[in-house]
């Protein structure tokens, strides 16, 4: 059954816009779990424009479900993850100037580096996931690097979904099937929403986890966090 991990970066973005501790990022993590989320995701970036490294350290002890830290494995990120030891690390190839994640890894061209990273994190007992585009070859490459899972970058699916759901999901289904054949777990994330989430899960029901931040936090501005999380859970708990 697919798990919902809530990305709380946007909570930190609002806090940082004003300074101080409002809204409280730690309280947001606690409440997300209280309202039914089965994991918390954070994506600390070097400029700390939303989640800060210190936030990660403070959030880790209060998480009672799964803690997923995603980001580009630069040295400071690697050190932070090895210090905090989350349940899962998701390797994302975003540059320091990226507004948000905008592509998956080329697991073939970066095999040596990704293999080293997977070995580093798995030696600490951390499940390691590699963020990839919906390409079966990238899933194969992730398996060859020693990853435990891949996370499909779903921006393309979300963009095409309103006009042609079947075409939007086609490449993702192929990549997901290949990941399954390679023995990899499957995550998905980026621009998933109440509009497009259920179709994705119905088509690829072996998805282990979806990580959702921007749409979910935006919906919470209108519906409240508790109702919003319940609404997202209703889209994935369909079997």
**What are the beta bridge partners of residue 70?**
90
Q: Is 190 a catalytic residue?
A: yes
| β-bridge pairing 149-153 and 3-7 | unpaired
- Token pair for residue 210? 């979806």
Asked whether 48 and 17 are in contact (CB, 8 A), the reply is no
Q: Which of 38, 70, 140, 209 is catalytic?
A: 70
Active-site option among 43, 50, 140, 151:
43
Question: What 8-state DSSP symbol labels residue 44?
Answer: -
Spatial CA neighbour of 193 closest among 222, 231, 151? 231
From 33, 38, 151, 190, the catalytic residue: 190
Three-class HEC string of the chain: CCEEEEECHHHHHHHHHHCCCCCCHHHHHHHHHHCCCCEEEECCCCCCCCCCHHHHHHHHHHCCCEEEEEECCCHHHHHHHHHHCCCEEEECCCCCCCCCCCCCCCCCCCHHHHHHHHHHHHCCCCEEEEEECCCHHHHHHHHHHCCCEEEEECHHHHHHCCCCHHHHHHHHHHHHHHHHHCCCEEEEECCCCCCCHHHHHHHCCCCCEEEECHHHHHHHHHHCHHHHHHHHHHHHCCC
Active-site residues, by number, are 43, 70, 190
């Amino acid at each position: 059954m697919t798990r919902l991990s809530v990305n709380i970066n946007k909570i930190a973005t609002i806090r940082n816009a004003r300074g101080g501790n409002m809204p409280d990022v730690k309280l947001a993590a606690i409440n997300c779990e209280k309202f039914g989320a089965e994991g918390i995701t954070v994506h600390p970036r070097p400029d700390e424009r939303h989640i800060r490294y210190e936030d990660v350290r403070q959030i880790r002890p209060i998480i009672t479900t799964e803690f997923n830290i995603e980001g580009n494995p630069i040295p400071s990120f690697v050190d932070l993850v090895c210090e905090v030891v989350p349940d899962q690390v998701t390797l994302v190839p975003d540059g320091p100037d990226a507004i948000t994640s905008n592509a998956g890894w080329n697991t073939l061209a970066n095999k040596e580096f990704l293999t080293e990273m997977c070995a580093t994190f798995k030696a600490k007992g951390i499940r390691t996931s590699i963020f990839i585009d919906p390409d079966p070859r990238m899933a194969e490459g992730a398996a060859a690097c020693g990853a435990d899972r891949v996370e499909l970058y779903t921006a393309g699916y979300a963009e095409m979904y309103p006009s042609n759901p079947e075409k939007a999901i086609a490449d993702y289904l192929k990549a997901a099937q290949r990941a399954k054949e390679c023995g990899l777990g499957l995550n998905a994330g980026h621009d998933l929403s109440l509009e497009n989430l259920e179709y994705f899960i119905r088509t690829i029901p072996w998805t282990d986890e979806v990580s959702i931040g921007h749409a979910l936090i935006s919906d919470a501005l209108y519906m409240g966090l508790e109702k919003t999380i319940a609404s997202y859970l209703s889209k994935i708990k369909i079997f």
